[in-house]
Amino acid sequence: METRNLRKERIGVVFSNKMDKSVTVAVKWKEKHPIYGKFVNKTKKFHAHDEKNDCNIGDTVRIQETRPLSKTKRWRVVEIMERAK
């Protein structure tokens, strides 16, 4: 049995679900400034494949790296961890 390579996983919030079978996920993290030492909030948006069109804006989801699915999509939604209230 072959083992798959380890794939990156990120946890973020669904930012947009206007596309068909796709969502935009905003991933936030804190990074220390190299000179001043202050922690700075960083955000990056990823386009992720949502096969069932299940995700809504504000949902917390886990996304996983995958092969290129389109020009900008290289991630897919693995699970919806928390629904928006």
Domain count, the chain: 1
**Residue 28 belongs to a domain:** yes
Q: DSSP for 14-77?
A: EEE--STTEEEEEEEEEEE-TTT--EEEEEEEEEEE-TT----TT-EEEEEE-S--SSS--EEE
**Residue 69 belongs to a domain:** yes
**Residue 23 belongs to a domain:** yes
**Residue 25 belongs to a domain:** yes
**Residue 41 belongs to a domain:** yes
Three-state SS at 11: strand
CA distance 82 to 85: 9
pLDDT at 85: 85
**Residue 29 belongs to a domain:** yes
Q: What is the pLDDT along the chain (85 residues), one digit of tens a residue?
A: 777 778 999 999 999 999 999 999 999 999 999 999 999 999 999 999 999 999 999 999 999 999 999 999 999 999 999 999 8
The CATH number covering residue 28 comes to 2.40.50.140
